Chain A
Amino acid sequence: MSDSVSQESEAEQSQTIVMPELPEGRLLDTVVAPAEVLSSPCGDADPTDPEVIQLAADLIASMRVAPGCVGLAANQVGVPLRVFSLDVSEHPKTRTCHGEFVLVNAEILEATRNQKAREGCMSVPDFTGDVKRATRLVVRGQLPVTGEWVEFRTDAFEAVALQHEIDHTNGFLFLDRAAGAHAIHPRQTYL
Chain B
Amino acid sequence: MSSFAITVVGHDKPGIIAAVTKALAEHGGNVEDSTMTLLRGHFAWTLLVSVEADQTEIEESVAPFASDDLSVTVLPMPEAGHDDLGAHASYWVNVHGADRPGIVATLTGALADQGGNITNLSTRLVNDMYVLGIDIDLPQSVDADAVAATLTSLASDLGVSLSMNAADEDVL
Contact = CB atoms under 8 A, between A and B. Distances in A.
Nearest to B135: A185
Interface string B156-172: 00000000000111111
A143 interface: no
A174 B171 CA distance: 11
A138 interface: no
Contacts of B82: 190
Given A182-B35, A188-B90, A120 B171 contact: yes
B84 A161 contact: no
A190 B84 contact: yes
A120 B167 CA distance: 13
A122 B171 contact: yes
A183 to B, nearest CB: 12
Interface in A29-45: none
Q: By CB atoms of chain B within 10 A, which of A91, A117, A174, A185 has the most?
A: A185
A120 B169 contact: yes
A174 B82 CA distance: 28
Contact of B172 (A121, A185, A188, A191): A121
Interface string A66-96: 0011110000000000000000000101000
Nearest to A162: B172
A121 B171 contact: yes
A160 B90 contact: no
B119 interface: yes
Given A188-B119, A190-B84, A69 B171 contact: yes
Contact of A118 (B35, B88, B169): B169
Contacts, number: 48
Contacts of A120: 169-172
A35 to B, nearest CB: 17
A93 B171 contact: no
A interface: dominant SS? mixed
B63 interface: no
A191 B85 CA distance: 9
Given A118-B167, A188-B137, A71 B172 contact: yes
A118 B172 CA distance: 10
Contacts of B172: 70-71, 119-121, 160-161, 164-165, 174
Contact of B170 (A119, A165, A185): A119
A117 B170 CA distance: 8
Contact of A91 (B85, B137, B170): B170
6 contacts: A119-B172, A182-B35, A182-B37, A188-B88, A190-B84, A191-B84
The 9 residue pairs across chains A and B that have the minimum distance between CB atoms: A164-B172, A118-B169, A120-B171, A128-B169, A120-B169, A161-B172, A68-B171, A71-B172, A190-B85
Given A120-B169, A122-B171, 19 more contacts: A68-B171, A70-B170, A91-B170, A117-B168, A117-B170, A118-B167, A118-B170, A119-B169, A121-B171, A128-B169, A160-B170, A161-B170, A185-B120, A188-B119, A188-B137, A190-B84, A190-B85, A190-B88, A191-B84
